[in-house]
A and B are shown apart, each in its own frame.
Chain A
Amino acid sequence: MPLPRNKTRNYLPLVLLVLALFPVFGSSYYNELIAKIMIMAIFALSLDLLVGFTGLVSFGHAAFFGAAAYSVVLLSPKYDPGNLWLVLPAAVLTGAAVAFVVGLFVLRTKGIYFIMVTLAFAQMIYFVFHDTPLGGGSDGAFLNVKPELRIGEKVLLDLNEPMQFYYIVLAFLVVAYVFLRVLLRSPLGHALAGIRSNEHRMQSLGFPVFLYKLASFVTAGGLAGLAGFLSACQYGFVTPEILSWHQSGNVLLMVILGGMGTLNGAAIGAFAFVVLQEVFSALTKHWQLLMGAVIVTVVMVLPGGLSSLPQRLKGLLIGGGNRNG
């Protein structure tokens, strides 16, 4: 059943090349759009670690993304650029730390209950930022100057520069992708796969299942924090809405749309989702109707997501189609 892996991975250098050369030809608006897609891809990858590889369907992933984004704004000086050495690790740690605390609660539950409880906790964190004066309440907060990386007097990287920002995002996407590939091949990755397919067996084999799940949860939270950091830097603005359950739903949708359990799928899903939004909202003011229809259609007829499409088509052509696959 699984797609011949080598074949899909052959495309990766090409994709990388296109992404690297894109700004040479693209206009500034589309550069920003692609940067956004890449940020969303990191976000979707982080969730795929949970949903696709650990079997934990989290409906509260925006909480880690959003908390990290807020930490960027809160830790940056008001009128000067923040220090990248400080702000970036802090944001990733924020995502991971929030995931750790939430994980202690939610990982005690399973299955459908887990979905609910992650949603409820994310909503709680949403209200922390929405109702308390901590981050400017429901009005949100601005990042006036984006962080920069300097050694002594020399500015090495400046996130205020759109071009530099684009390549930083691209670099982080590659780092996140490679990191997850390595992680999934490590003993931890194998243990997670074991938990996904049969948690009880792993338990009886003596694996500390809870700790493994927590490790996965915290890692995913940290990666989501990275995405949140980049997102805050891209738009220089955070509001509680970036922690809302819609955002959690959207990233889950990206993972499903692309096909969960494959890293490429998560990235494809992020791309497809943002492009669909872009195209539909240009079409009609009732664009959410189209979005809804696409979601329903994908769920009903394409359970494996977009990345399963080539194989399904092949199946249809050759074998008369295995519609239940």
Chain B
Amino acid sequence: MDFSTFLIQLLNALQYGLLLFLVASGLTLVFGIMGIINLAHGSFYMMGAYMAFALTALSGNLLVAILVGIALSVLIGFLLEWALFSRLYKRDHLDQVLLTYGLILIFEELRSLLVGDDVHGVPIPELLSASIQLSETLSYPVYRLFMSAVCILLAIVMYWLIRHTRLGMMIRAGSSNREMVQALGINIDLIYRIVFGLGVTLAAFAGMLAAPVSSVYPGMGNQVLIICFVVVVIGGVGSVWGALVAALLIGLADTFGKVIAPDYAGLAVYVLMAAVLLWRPEGIFRRI
């Protein structure tokens, strides 16, 4: 591998890692703050991608589709939290795992009933459709760079939201002690609803943002789900920074694994995980 190829692969790794971070960030938030293992997180990603497809087809504009999609996702998140999850907080984690397991099946079938089982593409917006020439033969689509920029921006916004706002303070307090926060007169139910809505929206947004690159197909949620869990395990439950670091590490392991030892590329990520867990059983970063 010559040096310029190495740099391009590095770019690939970063770009993949940042997208992974975006998908996993919602998972780690819901997980860390509410203590819910949300298996349906991949379904929300899929839902987002399909919304991008359907709404772009309707409106002809990805930006409009994303804005409408975000509004819909928030609504769906609130609705699910109100109808199902809010009734389970006092129960075992196991019940929540199973609930979300059931939701996966339901969402996948609803997708099949509503949109069908075909593969669809979502056009890249005109404005971002150019590419940059990187080497003699290879160019890099601007949209991929744009995606990375959005991911970085969101990471900063989330950091600011959790560290420097009143809502963030309440969220952090709520994650450490639900009852105490409630006793202090903070509406913890509302906080949980917001966090869950945020989790759903982040996953759906990742799906919408990735749709023009990934295309839209049945079962696409399950593919990202497990790798997102690995991100959370490596990064540490509930830690947004941890998720970022872990996602980038996974991006590197996956990309260079594919180049150096293609037969074992799928394993590279898990070897990384085992190594981290040996070193720190609860992930790299422990708290929000």
Q: Mark A112-141, 1 if CB is under 8 A from B, else 0.
A: 110111011101100110111100000000
Instruction: Please determine whether B106 and A293 come into contact, CB atoms closer than 8 angstroms.
Output: yes
**Which listed residue, A115, A130, A286, touches B93 by the CB 8 Å rule?**
A115
Say yes or no for B189: interface residue by CB 8 A criterion: no
- Give the interface centre of A108, A127, A128, A133 by most chain B CB atoms within 10 Å: A127
Q: Do the beta carbons of A131 and B87 come within 8 Å of each other?
A: no
Q: How many residues of A contact B (CB 8 A)?
A: 41
Residue A19 at the B interface, CB < 8 A?
Answer: no
Closest to A287 in B: B109
Looking at the complex, which of B12-20, B176-184, B264-272 is the stretch in contact with chain A?
B264-272
Q: State in angstroms the CA–CA spacing of A215 and B277 once bound together.
A: 21
Q: SS class of chain B's interface: helix, strand, loop or mixed?
A: helix
Chain A 245-284 per-residue mask, 1 if CB under 8 angstroms from chain B, else 0? 1000100110010000000000000000000000000000
- From B109, B233, B270, contact of A116 by CB (8 A): B233
> Is B112 a contact partner of A293 (Cβ separation < 8 A)?
no
Measured CA separation A105–B95 after assembly (Å): 24
Contacts of B237 in A (CB 8 A): 112-113, 116
Question: When the two chains form their complex, are residues B103 and A292 in contact, meaning their CB atoms are under 8 A apart?
Answer: yes
- List the B side residues contacting A183 at CB < 8 Å: none
User: Which of these, B88, B229, B274, B282, contacts A119 with CB under 8 Å?
Assistant: B229
Within the complex, which residue of B104, B109, B226, B281 is in contact with A286, where a contact is CB–CB below 8 Å? B109
Within 102-151 of B, Cβ neighbours of A (below 8 Å) are at 102-106, 108-110, 112-113
Determine whether the beta carbon of A292 is less than 8 Å from that of B104.
yes
| Chain A minimum-CB-distance residue to B106 | A292
Q: Give the Cβ gap from A269 to chain B, nearest Cβ, in Å.
A: 12
Question: Is the Cβ of A124 less than 8 Å from the Cβ of B95?
Answer: no
Q: How far is the CA of A139 from the CA of B56 in the complex (A)?
A: 38
We find that the number of chain B residues with CB closer than 8 angstroms to chain A is 45
Residue of A105, A288, A296 touching B278 (CB-CB under 8 A): A105
**CB pairs A–B below 8 angstroms (14 shown):** A109-B282, A111-B93, A112-B37, A116-B233, A117-B233, A120-B273, A124-B267, A127-B266, A131-B267, A291-B105, A296-B99, A298-B98, A299-B95, A299-B102
Query: Can you list the 5 inter-chain pairs with the closest CB atoms, starting with the nearest?
Result: A295-B102, A292-B105, A124-B270, A292-B106, A289-B109
Interface residues of B (CB under 8 A from A): 31, 35, 37, 39, 84, 87-88, 91-95, 97-99, 101-106, 108-110, 112-113, 226, 229-230, 232-233, 237, 263-267, 270-271, 273-274, 277-278, 281-282
- Measured CB to CB, the residues of A under 8 A from B are 51, 57, 59, 105, 108-109, 111-113, 115-117, 119-121, 123-124, 127-128, 130-133, 245, 249, 252-253, 256, 286, 288-289, 291-296, 298-300, 303
Q: Known A-B contacts: A120-B233, A127-B267, A288-B105. Give 5 more (CB < 8 A).
A: A112-B237, A115-B93, A116-B237, A120-B229, A124-B270
